[in-house]
A and B are shown apart, each in its own frame.
Chain A
Amino acid sequence: MAHPQGQRAAAEYLRQLLLKPGSYRDAWQQRVARPRDGVINQLAVAEVIADHLRSSPLHHGGARMLPYQLRDIVSEALSGRQLSVGALQLFGGAFGFKDHELDRLQQLRMGSRRIAVFAGREAVPAEGELTEILGPRKHQTVSLHDHVYVGADGRIDRARVLQVVEAIDQGVDRIPFLCDTNVLTIEVGKGGKELSGEVRQIRRDVFFTEILLSRTLDLGETLALEYWVSYRFPGQLTDKAEREFRRAVMRTVSNLDMRIQFDQDCVPAKIYWAQWDGIDGGVVEREAVTLDKELSAHRYLHSVEKTVVGFYWVWGE
């Protein structure tokens, strides 16, 4: 049974998939004379679906469907008013969504609160300074693994995070999650019950939500959390923001393991491990690293305190 809020959340994710630079957006934009930034042309989307039905009709009449006949289905789906399983299959088949994307759409549609979609229209502007919004510190990270994958198109595609947190206060039942606007979704796994449901935009380019823990921690208790993050980078490979993966540590993180793996079809010419002078500052230290047989680079730090560290890379000519 679809959940009304779930349908809206799934529709938001569907819109973001179609707006994300890449093959899905290219599929409908090539049918539009003058695409407008951030606006999905519904007729063009209907044309993609109609073409798909003509080449592989799902049911009687599918082969003869005209784009204008599909426009209502597209409109209802993208607005979240009516997003059926059938409609999701239509979109998935026509645009060739990946299994994990289809799975995420289905889970959102069923009302899963374990996934959050970070999108401008969902975000609630927050007032006050960052520390005020985050409140007093109630946990610390005793172990953190960031494992990142860069796809064949040169974009940062996804990250898997394994984090062990320790409560430094009584009754810790959630931890904050901050990210920039390049994050498309977060999905919680082990150790995370669900997301708080409210995504707040606390700066022009920073989103905030909370991960609710699978149990409430008392002072000194720990919990292992696992979550996955997907991204929507524009694909401007010359932009340095698309050629780096960094951790900005406002307080302290112990035992940080960062690993970045590249697709074999898109391997950087050079890669560096670096430290930055804050998130807006320049590189203060760097060290060239070599990719291993899995085309990955890795660094481990016992402790990171009030700094920004990570990898950046340079593509070949």
Chain B
Amino acid sequence: MRGDSSTARFESRRAASDYLQQLLLKPGKYRQSWERYVSRERRGTINQLAVAEVIARHLWSYPRGPADAEVTPHQLKDTVSRALTGRLLSRPALAMFIDAFGFSQHEADRLWRLWNGAATISVMTGTRAVPLRAEEQVDRVVGPRRHQTLSLHDHVHVGADARMDRARTLQVIEAIAPGVDRIPFVCDTNVLTLEVGQGGKELSGDVRQIGEDVFSTEILLARTLELGETITLEYWTSYRFPGDRGDPSEREFRRAVMRQIENLDMRVEFHPDQLPVSVWWAQWDGIDGEVIERQAVTLDNQYSAHRYLRSLQKTVAGFFWEWEESGASKTY
């Protein structure tokens, strides 16, 4: 993304750190390893001293050198803190985490790939996807969070008239409360229709305007989910963009994530008669903010661009593109 190598290194270490945090927070054996040393658990927060305790105990059994045999959790706390905040995640520190928690081979491989700077498969985090007021409006209408997204595929088509035409979405959700029979669908005013396929019974029928340019409705699920149950949903969205090629909002497809989604695959395909001169993958500083990071991408032989992110949290990410000023499009 940014050209300079120290920035790139910082970004890759931060991405590895983000993924490391997710592994430690994910319900399962890694979390249980450190939680057993915590007296009062705080939801969604890693107890760094407990993590240091796990690592210290591992080092006592498998010392890397004489000093490790007597290392205390307090001595490791700074290393853990720097690693988990992304300030400094050194090679030995990452190796220590991998060994102490026994991450699986593919998780360890991914941590190393992120650490080494594999830019394409990453974790994106921000501070806020939408302004606080808008988030409050959405929260008021949508209510408390009752599901989370485990996997999301946004496949978008841009037509021969250069307008975004339609998107197909495949989404796997997990209930984080009992009796989840619907999920909210929030969109802007450029969305014309929403059609549900497998996994969705119907729409609630009630489309509400919850902000100046934000609509909300609900997708009723094919079955009611109990806590921890999952379902796959498919739906199609059509758009009604005015066709103003100069308007940036007609030259971008973004996902604004107010909380967190995992495993996002985004693909934008252009009509062969109307190809952009440049396409970028980008992260924005909230829906009204500027692009804070961008990376040029090349279309494949199906005139499509694709990105996959392991996790996306409180941020806005997506593609934007430029048409040639004369109106003629690039030939690939």
A3 at the interface (CB under 8 A from B): no
Cβ contact within 8 Å between B232 and A222: no
Contact yes or no, A220 B269, CB < 8 A: no
Q: Is B237 an interface residue (CB 8 A)?
A: no
Q: Which of B109, B120, B198, B263 interacts with A143 by CB under 8 Å?
A: B263
> Within the assembled complex, what's the spacing in Å between the Cα atoms of A299 and B232?
9
Option from B155, B174, B269, B307 in Cβ contact (under 8 Å) with A300: B174
Q: Is B222 an interface residue (CB 8 A)?
A: yes
Given contacts A164-B308, A292-B222, contact A298 B231 (CB under 8 A): yes
| Chain B interface, >50% SS class | strand
- B residues 106-129 touching A (CB-CB < 8 Å): 106, 109, 113, 118-121
Residues of A within 8 A of B69 (CB): none
Tell whether B201 is near chain A: CB-to-CB under 8 Å: yes
Query: With A222-B121, A222-B308, A294-B199 in contact, is A257–B155 under 8 Å at CB?
Result: no
The answer to whether B222 and A293 touch across the interface, beta carbons within 8 angstroms, is yes
Q: Contact between A257 and B308 (Cβ–Cβ < 8 Å)?
A: no
Q: With A143-B308, A293-B223, A294-B222 as known contacts, state yes or no: A259 contacts B198, CB within 8 Å.
A: yes
Given contacts A224-B267, A255-B150, A293-B223, contact A303 B106 (CB under 8 A): yes
Q: When the two chains form their complex, are residues A259 and B104 in contact, meaning their CB atoms are under 8 A apart? A: no
Q: How far is the CB of B100 from chain A (nearest CB, A)?
A: 20
Question: Cβ of A299: which chain B residues have Cβ within 8 Å of it?
Answer: 230
A147 interfacial contact with B, CB 8 Å = yes
Cβ of A274 to closest chain B Cβ, rounded Å:
17
Which residues of A are found within 8 Å of B119, using beta-carbon distances? 220
Which of chain A's residues have a CB closer than 8 A to the CB of B298?
215
Give B200's nearest chain A residue, CB to CB. Answer: A294
Contact assessment for B198 and A147 in the assembled complex, using a CB-CB cutoff below 8 Å = yes
Closest residue of chain B to A192 (Cβ to Cβ) is B302
Instruction: Say if the beta carbon of A178 comes within 8 Å of chain B.
Output: no
A27 to B6, CA, bound (A): 71
Give the contacting residue for A223; candidates B151, B201, B306; CB below 8 A. B306
A220 CA / B198 CA spacing, docked (Å) = 32
Which of B120, B151, B222 has the most C-beta atoms of chain A within 10 angstroms of its own C-beta?
B151
Q: Shortest CB–CB separation between residue A57 and chain B, in angstroms? A: 41
Bound-complex Cα distance A302 to B228 (A): 13
The contact size tier of chain B is 35 or more
Q: Are B301 and A224 in contact (CB under 8 A)?
A: no
Q: Are B155 and A190 in contact (CB under 8 A)?
A: yes
Indicate if B300 sits at the interface (CB-CB under 8 A). yes
Q: Is B201 a contact of A293 with CB atoms below 8 Å? A: yes
CB pair B120–A222 under 8 Å, yes or no, is yes
| A143 surroundings in chain B (CB, below 8 A) | 151, 153, 263, 265, 308
Asked if B121 and A305 sit within 8 Å, CB to CB, the answer is: no
Complexed CA–CA distance, A140 and B121 (Å): 12
Chain B residues with Cβ under 8 A from A261's Cβ? 198
Annotate A274-311 by CB proximity to B: 1 below 8 A, 0 otherwise.
Answer: 00000000000000001011101011101101000000
- Give 7 closest A-B pairs by Cβ, nearest first: A220-B118, A215-B300, A292-B223, A222-B308, A300-B230, A214-B300, A292-B222
Seed contacts A147-B198, A303-B104; 13 additional CB < 8 Å A-B pairs = A142-B121, A142-B263, A142-B310, A143-B151, A143-B263, A145-B153, A162-B170, A220-B118, A223-B300, A252-B106, A259-B232, A293-B201, A300-B172
The 18 sampled A-B contact pairs (Cβ below 8 Å) are A142-B308, A145-B232, A168-B113, A190-B267, A191-B302, A193-B301, A222-B307, A222-B308, A224-B267, A255-B150, A255-B151, A257-B232, A259-B198, A293-B223, A294-B199, A300-B151, A300-B172, A300-B174
* Chain A residues proximal to chain B, CB less than 8 Å: 140, 142-143, 145, 147, 162, 164, 166, 168, 190-191, 193, 214-215, 219-224, 252, 254-255, 257, 259, 261, 290, 292-294, 296, 298-300, 302-303, 305
Interface, chain B (partner A; CB < 8 A): 26, 104-106, 109, 113, 118-121, 150-151, 153, 155, 170, 172, 174, 198-199, 201, 222-223, 230-232, 262-263, 265, 267, 269, 298, 300-302, 304, 306-308, 310
